[in-house]
């Protein structure tokens, strides 16, 4: 059954409705897709720069520490063996990439499932536009309060970054401003509410269907 979402203006007054059609919502499948995409995204954030030296890379150790027999100690061929202080590291980390490939269809399904969950939770808010008259953070906060978005973290989806919007939201730790074209599942699940304009929600739905 189609669901109607109210569209508000910056003063929190309803000015229209947006219909969420059934084919835009997916709640029967996609849980694993969301899991796979989140794991891949977080893996991609890892630097992979940890590095250790093997015994071949450590300087020195060319001379045999002591003779092979007669000392009562175990035989040793190099002081740079992993068993010695100052020696190399056995099986230590080396620079690598943690990149995980996720198919386009899986990413698309994950976005649709995450969006559907937010719809189901009532965590989607629509505003007619985000054209700010100035770059004052105070006015941006007042707008969020009028939209009842002052509690929790808010993901604000915009078509393009404007100077006023960027500056007004820059110092707000509970606001994440992203372009709708680059929105990902991790950002959607990280935030309590998603604020769309009528234009950006149409762009997002077109991307997931």
Listed by start position, the domains of the chain span: 3-47+101-208, 52-92
What digits encode the pLDDT tens for the residues 107-149?
A: 999 999 999 999 999 999 999 999 888 999 999 999 999 999 9
Q: pLDDT of 176-206, one tens digit each?
A: 999 999 999 999 999 999 999 999 999 999 9
To 5 degrees, how large is the angle CA 97–CA 102–CA 103? 145
Q: Where are the alpha helices (DSSP H) in 30-162?
A: 31-44, 104-121, 137-146
Q: Across all residues in the chain, what is the average pLDDT?
A: 94
Alpha carbon 159 to chain centroid distance?
19
User: Mean pLDDT throughout 167-182?
Assistant: 94
Q: Indicate the class that CATH gives domain 3-47+101-208.
A: alpha beta
List residues bridging with 19 in a β-sheet: 4
The confidence score (pLDDT) of residue 99 equals 95
Determine the length of the chain: 209
Q: In 3D, which of 94, 98, 95 has the Cα closest to residue 40?
A: 98
pLDDT-derived band at 1 (thresholds 50, 70, 90) equals: low
């Amino acid at each position: 059954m189609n669901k109607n979402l109210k569209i508000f203006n910056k003063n929190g007054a309803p000015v229209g409705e947006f219909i969420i059609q059934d084919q835009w919502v997916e709640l029967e499948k996609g849980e694993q897709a969301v899991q796979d995409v989140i794991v891949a995204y977080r893996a991609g954030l890892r630097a992979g720069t940890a590095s250790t030296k093997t015994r071949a890379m450590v300087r020195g150790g060319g001379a045999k520490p002591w003779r092979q027999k007669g000392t009562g100690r175990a035989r040793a061929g190099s002081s740079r063996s992993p068993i010695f202080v100052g020696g190399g590291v056995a099986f230590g980390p080396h620079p690598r990439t943690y990149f995980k490939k996720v198919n386009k269809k899986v990413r698309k399904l994950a976005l649709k499932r995450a969006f559907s969950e937010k719809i189901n939770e009532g965590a989607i808010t629509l505003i007619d536009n985000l054209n700010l008259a100035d770059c004052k953070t105070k006015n941006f906060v007042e707008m969020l309060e009028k939209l009842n978005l002052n509690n929790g973290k808010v993901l604000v989806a915009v078509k393009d970054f404007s100077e006023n919007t960027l500056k007004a939201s820059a110092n707000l730790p509970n606001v994440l401003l992203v372009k709708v074209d680059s929105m990902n599942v991790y950002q959607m699940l990280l935030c309590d509410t998603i604020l769309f304009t009528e234009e950006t929600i149409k762009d997002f739905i077109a991307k997931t269907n």
